[in-house]
Amino acid sequence: MIKNNQWNSRITFLLSMIGAAVGLGNIWRYSYVVYSNGGGTFFIPYLVAILIMGIPFLILEYGVGFRHKDSFANILKNINPKLEYLSWTLVLIIYFVLVYYLVIISWDLVYLGSSLNFNWGSNSTMYFVENVGGNSNLSNMTNFIIPTLISMLITWIMVWYISHKDLNEGIGKVSKILIPLLFGIMVFIILFALTLPGANIGINTLLKPDWSMLLNVNIWLAAFSQILFSLSMGESISLTYASYLPEGSKLTDNVLIVVFANCAFEVCTSFGIFSILGYMSYTSGTPITKLISEGTGLVFVVFPMIFNKMGLIGHILAPLLFISILFAGITSAIAIFEPMINSTIHKLNWSRKKTVTILSIVGCILSLIFTTGISSYLIGIVDTFITEFCILLLIAIQCIIFGWFYDIEEVIPILNENDKVKVGKTWMFILKYILPVFLFIMWGNGVYNLLINANNFELLVYIIITATVLILSYIFMNIKEKPKIKSNNRE
């Protein structure tokens, strides 16, 4: 029996959407993107990307999800039965993201425990290789990294526990607790970081403009890519969450709030990150350019090294940083999980608890692949392929489907009914003509980089992922749907 999930308040929806948008990349990737793409100059293409891609596409997802109140698979199926295959391809791809995303969160969980007494020692690089992420030596792929394995099981249990509950008792309640805590912790870290000696070195390095970069296509691609993945655009997350909104809800206004919260978080966090890097440069005499890194290298190698030199202050900041990463990761993970849950429930007519339990068991087994001695190397390969090839292509195709083969004009009255900010022909023009061009250019650039940089092992991984997703999509599409009995009871 399918129950009608529905958010119990606007604030619950907003905090859940902000939790979906604010993830690991906001904390450890954005600052590096700014620095490596013209510093202060980057904010110009960043703002343009928000205005002509982030906001318009999210408005589309909110409108479509709210209008149909159905799964992504069923919505595309209703447009054209053949499109159901495409919908399952996207949903499964996003589910596979969850599989390795939770392993990354498990790394953070290991570091959270280690931050209590700085178990990483003086050689943070070696600690990461031996106890958390491994390396690229393929001979280690049969050996499990026990701390990561145990932490991965814990993260899956947490996600299962939250997701198997009713919508508001699970996702809603957790978002209302973790998101305010996350923002509070990060405000404290940022404000404290700004007071550190040498903080100005980091801020000046981050913001130093290079106006010549505005003529470089790469800075524009970087800005659009950052917005695309920072807001989880086109991944069926926003569409799914919006499908749970009650009648009379604001849509466009909510999009603007979520976009502002997400972008403000990553911009402010970048100031904190570079202030800490500036402190390290000031106190150690190391040029800041040698400390700047992104992703796991920044958080799991550079920062532990910095915390070692901070003394008591480091013992306070370290746990707070890893707790904030955990909160951001968990709220994003449950959002990434939701499209697969929703589509499976509508397809198989299972209960939410049964669906989440089975998908969690399968996902946990798959996550084991990423807890071996090549954990970080394999995750890097899979993440690059999924983001640069799979997701970009599927989002571009979505843009064409909704822009050209869907009665998008019927969504405009729904979007404008209860909102102060209205949309119209300009919004439609962006979706039909401008966005597809940018998305296909980004996809072409991503495919080019994949092909010229991939080795034989990486190509093999690409082929396995592609074949697996295509086969599973065919299976799901051809499963005969069970009769659905709708209920007025809300889950």
CATH code, domain carrying 316: 1.20.1740.10
Q: How far apart are CA 240 and CA 235, in angstroms?
A: 9
Residue 8 CB-density burial (10 A; 0-12 exposed, 13-18 middle, 19+ buried) = middle
Instruction: With CA atoms as reference, report the closest residue to 329 among 141, 130, 159.
Output: 159
Tell me the pLDDT tens digit for each residue of 308-332. Answer: 989 899 999 999 999 999 999 999 9
| pLDDT value of position 1 | 37
Helices 173-194 and 10-21: crossing angle in degrees, nearest 10, is 50
Amino acid identity at 176: K
Asked if 416 and 422 count as a contact pair (C-beta separation under 8 A), the reply is: yes
Secondary structure string (H, E, C) spanning the chain:
CEECCCCCCHHHHHHHHHHHHCCHHHHHCHHHHHHHCCHHHHHHHHHHHHHHHHHHHHHHHHHHHHHHCCCHHHHHHHHCHHHHHHHHHHHHHHHHHHHHHHHHHHHHHHHHHHCCCCCCCCCHHHHHHHHHHCCCCHHHCCCECHHHHHHHHHHHHHHHHHHCCCCHHHHHHHHHHHHHHHHHHHHHHHHHHHCCCCHHHHHHHHHCCCHHHHHCHHHHHHHHHHHHHHCCCCCCHHHHHHCCCCCCCCCHHHHHHHHHHHHHHHHHHHHHHHHHHHHHHHHHCCCHHHCCCCHHHHHHHHHHHHHHHHCHHHHHHHHHHHHHHHHHHHHHHHHHHHHHHHHHHHHHCCCHHHHHHHHHHHHHHHHHHHHECCHHHHHHHHHHHHHHHHHHHHHHHHHHHHHHCCCHHHCHHHHHHCCCCCCCHHHHHHHHHHHHHHHHHHHHHHHHHHHHHCCHHHHHHHHHHHHHHHHHHHHHHHCCCCCCCEECCCC
Structural domain harbouring 185: 2-487
Calculate the dihedral angle through the C-alpha atoms of 424, 430, 432, 436, rounding to the nearest 10 degrees: -160
| pLDDT value of position 257 | 97
| pLDDT value of position 483 | 61
Q: How far apart are CA 213 and CA 227, in angstroms?
A: 18
Residue 440 CB-density burial (10 A; 0-12 exposed, 13-18 middle, 19+ buried) = middle
Q: Which two tokens stand for residue 77?
A: 């199926």
| pLDDT value of position 485 | 47
| pLDDT value of position 388 | 86
Specify the number of domains making up the chain.
1
| pLDDT value of position 484 | 58
Give how far the C-alpha of residue 369 lies from the chain's centroid of Cα atoms, to the nearest Å: 21
pTM for this structure? Answer: 0.93
Asked if 258 and 17 count as a contact pair (C-beta separation under 8 A), the reply is: yes
What is the per-residue burial (b if ≥16 Cβ within 10 Å, else e) of 88-103?
bbbbbbbbbbbbbbbb
Q: Which two tokens stand for residue 84?
A: 């159901």
Within 8 A by CB and 6+ apart from 275, the residues are: 190, 193, 194, 196, 199, 202, 203
Show the low-confidence residues of the chain (pLDDT under 70).
1-4, 482-491
Partner residues linked to 2 by β-bridges: 486
Asked if 389 and 459 count as a contact pair (C-beta separation under 8 A), the reply is: no
Asked if 140 and 412 count as a contact pair (C-beta separation under 8 A), the reply is: no
Q: State residue 233 phi and psi, 5-degree precision.
A: -65, 145
